[in-house]
Amino acid sequence: MDAAMPAADGGEAGAAAQAPPAVVLVSAGASHSVALLEGNVLCSWGRGEDGQLGHGDAEDRLVPTVISGFDAPRITSVICGADHTTAYSEEEQQVYSWGWGDFGRLGHGNSSDVFTPQPVRALQGIKIKQMACGDSHCLAVTMGGEVQSWGRNQNGQLGLGTTEDSLLPQKIQAFEGICVKMIAAGAEHTAAVTEDGDLYGWGWGRYGNLGLGDRNDRFVPEKVSLVEGEKMVLIACGWRHTITVSSSGILYTYGWSKYGQLGHGDFEDHLFPHKVEALKDSSTSQFGQVGAGDSVDHCSPVQVMFPAEQKVAQVACGWRHTLAYTEKKNVFAWGRGTSGQLGHGEIVDRNKPLMIDAISPDGSGSKKLESSTAVPFTAKVWVSPSERYALVPDEKVAKPGVGTAGNGADASVPENDVKRMRVQS
């Protein structure tokens, strides 16, 4: 796939000044970012050590780079997991995935890493309405309202009634007869909203992030009791918290609040959906990802100041960085930037939104996007899945009854960008 736009009458000089294809949507992973552009152009940037950028190598990219050779027609969605990526071709009715493959999160029937987009053959021919990726698991909602899930399942986040990982997509039988509208995936938990406006949660529940009034895990979807008979229309998950929006426009949050990510003005966990009196925001601001111009955590929503006349149309949150896409087709990024995930061509953190020039029509400099130039695999030294492991929530968490009331008693939260370690022989 050629990243360059057709040259204008001015030849090369005109092509260099021409705007890039307009951005359609953006998504953010742990330390990488992706954008779908008009003309079926897919770009990625940031950390690439596990192939999550799809460029055929394990190199980081500091600016948006077109995934060359990926010519699946009519890509309509692209979603980042922590260290993997998925995309859906509406015309082919085919899901693609690439990146870190441990626990079967790519849906290919194995745990191998994949460095270029590959089809998830088990889902071929299925019309997909929406997809969601957590840390190590994925889900897809079909046009008929069924839900398929795959990947890691140690806390029941796949909703299959077991804690066994699934290397291939499986239908969630608990939703038989229930039409699911939308799903969201946290680190190790999952939430869903049905066409009837009901809210469900399952998976890891230690911080009340399932909204079921306790801290227990659920292996199958369970309906959340809502106050005032509200019907839910939107759902989103952070690492250990959940956000839902009602048909009347009221925002509810619940789960982990060590850094004030629930937006209630405190740092207390909430086990039931709790109305946010102001607007929402999320997560810790150690690296400026709140975008308020400082590195201070905020336990109540604060306004993110954008340049004049830039009205935000879509946002995406990674682990420690944030992307925003405006109605003027410009993309802004802020927060953690040590892997190039902000797309500014450097590896620095930013506490205010800064435009990504390469994919923004109002950006400065050359408008020609870079393309993949993969290094041959034989020149690389790879770390196989068997030689590394994932740091997951329960591995360093205090025993039940000790430090489970929230307010920061959680040793398993990664304090840097490394979520896994190589096993030394």
CATH number at residue 204: 2.130.10.30
Measured CA to CA, the distance from residue 14 to residue 305 in angstroms comes to 33
The answer on 217 and 149 residing in a single domain is yes
Confidence of residue 419 (pLDDT cuts 50, 70, 90): very low
How many CA atoms are closer than 13 Å to the CA of 231, on its beta-carbon side?
Answer: 8
The answer on 156 and 56 residing in a single domain is no
pLDDT by residue (tens digit) across 27-59? 999 999 999 999 999 999 999 999 999 999 999
Q: Rg for the chain (alpha carbons), in Å?
A: 21
Q: Greater confidence, 17 or 82?
A: 82
Window from 164-178, 279-293, 321-335, 340-354 with minimum mean pLDDT: 279-293
In-domain check, residue 418: no
Mean pLDDT of all residues in 216-238? 90
In Å, how far are 34, 150, 345, 352, 356 from 349, measured between CA atoms? 18, 33, 12, 9, 14
Mean pLDDT of all residues in 324-331? 89
In Å, how far are 58, 119, 382 from 376, measured between CA atoms? 10, 21, 12
* Among 390, 320, 385, 381, residue whose Cα is nearest residue 349: 320
The answer on 227 and 149 residing in a single domain is yes
The answer on 276 and 151 residing in a single domain is yes
The answer on 50 and 22 residing in a single domain is yes
Place of tokens 């040590």: 338
pLDDT by residue (tens digit) across 287-316? 344 444 565 566 556 666 667 677 888 888
**pLDDT given for residue 197 in this prediction:** 95
In-domain check, residue 255: yes
In-domain check, residue 414: no
Whole-prediction pTM value? 0.80
Mean pLDDT of all residues in 118-128? 97
Measured CA to CA, the distance from residue 269 to residue 262 in angstroms comes to 8
**pLDDT given for residue 306 in this prediction:** 67
> Is it the case that residue 348 has pLDDT exceeding 50?
yes
DSSP states of 47-108:
--TTSTT-SSS---EEEEEE-TT---S-EEEEEE-SSEEEEEETTTTEEEEEE--GGGTT-S
Measured CA to CA, the distance from residue 93 to residue 79 in angstroms comes to 16
**Domain containing residue 136:** 126-280
Q: Greater confidence, 264 or 213?
A: 213
Q: Mark which of 252, 280, 308 sits at the end of a domain.
A: 280
Bridge partners, 37 (sequence order): 23, 41
The answer on 108 and 140 residing in a single domain is no
Confidence of residue 320 (pLDDT cuts 50, 70, 90): confident
Measured CA to CA, the distance from residue 346 to residue 336 in angstroms comes to 11
Both tokens of 291, joined, read: 């975008």
DSSP 3-state of 370? strand
CB contact at 8 A, 241 and 187: no
Confidence of residue 368 (pLDDT cuts 50, 70, 90): confident
**pLDDT given for residue 109 in this prediction:** 97
**pLDDT given for residue 365 in this prediction:** 60
Measured CA to CA, the distance from residue 196 to residue 144 in angstroms comes to 14
Q: Please give the order of strands across the beta sheet that includes 180-185.
A: 180-185, 189-194, 199-203, 218-223
> Is it the case that residue 112 has pLDDT exceeding 50?
yes
Mean pLDDT of all residues in 365-381? 58
Q: Mark which of 216, 248, 280 sits at the end of a domain.
A: 280
> Is it the case that residue 413 has pLDDT exceeding 50?
no
Name the DSSP class of 8. Answer: B
The answer on 113 and 96 residing in a single domain is yes
Window from 16-20, 235-239, 246-250 with minimum mean pLDDT: 16-20
The answer on 191 and 337 residing in a single domain is no
The answer on 216 and 339 residing in a single domain is no
In-domain check, residue 54: yes
Q: Mark which of 280, 304, 339 sits at the end of a domain.
A: 280
Q: Domain total for the chain?
A: 2
pLDDT by residue (tens digit) across 159-216? 999 999 999 999 999 999 999 999 999 999 999 999 999 999 999 999 999 999 999 9
In-domain check, residue 391: no
**pLDDT given for residue 355 in this prediction:** 92
The answer on 343 and 216 residing in a single domain is no
Handedness of CA 391, 343, 332, 34 (dihedral sign): negative
Mean pLDDT of all residues in 136-164? 98
Confidence of residue 263 (pLDDT cuts 50, 70, 90): confident
Mean pLDDT of all residues in 115-144? 97
The answer on 327 and 210 residing in a single domain is no
**pLDDT given for residue 394 in this prediction:** 42
In-domain check, residue 320: yes
DSSP 3-state of 379? helix
The answer on 275 and 306 residing in a single domain is no
Confidence of residue 378 (pLDDT cuts 50, 70, 90): very low
Question: Phi first, then psi: what are they for 228, rounded to 5°?
Answer: 60, 20
Measured CA to CA, the distance from residue 177 to residue 420 in angstroms comes to 39
In-domain check, residue 425: no
In-domain check, residue 413: no
Beta strands in 172-269 (DSSP E): 180-185, 189-194, 199-203, 218-223, 232-237, 241-246, 251-255
Name the DSSP class of 292. Answer: S
> Is it the case that residue 272 has pLDDT exceeding 70?
yes
Which helix (H) or strand (E) segment is 16 a member of? helix 12-17
